[in-house]
Structure 1
């Protein structure tokens, strides 16, 4: 099941804003033309205050939801505050939670947004407000649906907020494969960090991924993997610094899907980052996950 809401792209941003907000609608249009269209469902479950408090300070939650954040906090968030942003955020985080529960039941699910890995317990950062995968993992465990969760973060930027929020938890394993010379400047300590140099190409990247995935699943036997499928590893990404080809992105998705399918590990995916002003090319990169999904065994 793929969860989507039109509000993902229905947010007014200033001219030439750096975040490619229209990519979600364009990806949905692309998927509507494929056999996956029957697997797309409306995401209409908002994250509750109780779910957000599993990972976030109540004072911060209230400041964001009520619009009382300070100007420096809003600047660090990267979006101008609006009631529409609150609605979009709660629906997107809720969709990641719903997708995580669905993946446990059905084997696979995805949120056609999400991957807000820079969000800390008490602050927003880098277009990330609430840390959806951290909240989803904590919610699964709080509800007794899982005992061990692996968050596999393959965005080009380190999942610093995820690492910080979950650093004291032994039941949620954090693994980040990222570019060491990229945002954030100061990295946090994940359970497993694989920091690769600028201009890393397909062979080194894919070899690292295979080793990381094998290591984490062998040592921790997770009940589910929550996967941040960042498109910003692509060589033409404007905020990336890796040299991964489109075929390399496709191979990344195939490796993860195949590993989970053949080891019977439920997999939930969120889209993560992707920063190209050429939206058609950006959607091409995000679409690799869903092209690989069609040949994975998860979809019938």
Structure 2
């Protein structure tokens, strides 16, 4: 069964001028239920992330500033939105959703989080709409509890997973792979274990060829027993922040390559949705919905 983390709190409202399309978080499960891709039984309500799991990844001093809403104005601007208790609570729910989905992936081979993919959060600070790094927190949770031995992070969001790269810079049990826009945010890139920087306008054919050549080799070399997949749909040509040239069908084929490899190699995969900033919400929803459709088709 495909298990999917979702809570209504994911749609916590932000100021009207905020660029992030929060409405996708409640429209996506509605669309998947309406079309019959999933049933209510596929959705689960994640709990509240513990402080123990937070400080297993993030510096205690940073967490104390978040918890007491005492980060500086400069630090707040770097995250991209005003800090509030509701926002911190939302981050804890999303991150716990990724942890619980990771456990479900161990059981069912695949699981998803309607939100997540907060890969710009560093050990000691937030950036780019990310306060706590769900992929890193869930990775450290799995390793600390001896649930897995080797993790591969497959970050296919259009923006480099800079926070994830920094967090695992000296952790050999987590291999970070980021395939992203060369000229896109962040301007200063961290060094992942493998970075593939794509030129502006990169089309489906070029993107899929690079991925199809790179990911099977990585799986052979890294020998992961768990994969975290960051499936941002900001790779679309219609994306306001993306700068690549992919179609919705190309994005779907990207997901198919990842899930096919995970299934054939019997590697559990947990998927976070990541970014998506197309002008039309229908483009965002269709591309995200395809990720769930492909997972159902391949695994079940």
Provide structure 1 residue ranges, at least 5 long, that are not aligned to the other structure.
none
Whether contact under 8 Å (2:238, 2:279) holds in the other structure is: no
User: Partner of 1:220 in structure 2?
Assistant: 222
Q: Distance in 2 between matches of 1:235 and 1:294?
A: 26
Shift of 1:211: 2.0
Correspondence 1:19 to 2:20 = yes
Shift of 1:212: 2.1
Matched, 1:80 2:77: no
Q: Which residue of 1 aligns with 2:232?
A: 230
Q: What's the offset of the Cα at 1:38?
A: 3.8
The separation in 2 between residues aligned to 1:255 and 1:41, in whole angstroms, is: 25
Is contact 1:116-1:132 (8 Å) kept? yes
Q: Is the 8 A contact 1:23 1:279 kept in 2?
A: yes
Q: How far 1:276 moved relative to its partner?
A: 2.2
**What do residues 179-213 of structure 1 show as CA deviations (whole Å, max 9, x unaligned)?**
10100001010001111111001111011111221
Tell me, in whole angstroms, the C-alpha distance in 2 between the residues paired with 1:187 and 1:295: 35
Q: Which runs of 5+ in 2 are unaligned?
A: none
Task: Indicate conservation of the 8 Å contact 1:2/1:39, yes or no.
Answer: no
Report the equivalent of 1:247.
249
Aligned length: 297
Secondary structure of residue in 2 paired with 1:35 = coil
SS in 2 for 1:62: helix
How far apart are 1:39 and its partner, in Å? 4.4
Q: Residues of 1 paired with 2:248 and 2:32: CA distance?
A: 18
Aligned to 1:186: 188
Deviation at 1:3, TM superposition (A): 1.0
SS in 2 for 1:156: coil
Shift of 1:89: 0.5
Quick check: 1:274 aligned with 2:276? yes
**TM-score, normalised via structure 1 length:** 0.97
Deviation at 1:44, TM superposition (A): 2.8
Q: Quote the residue 1:170 is aligned against.
A: 172
Partner secondary structure for residue 206 of structure 2: helix
2:199 to 175, 197, 200: 197
Indicate the residue corresponding to 1:29 in structure 2.
Answer: 30
For 1:277 and 1:62, the matched residues in 2 are separated by 37
**Aligned partner (choices 96, 111, 119) of residue 121 of structure 2:** 119
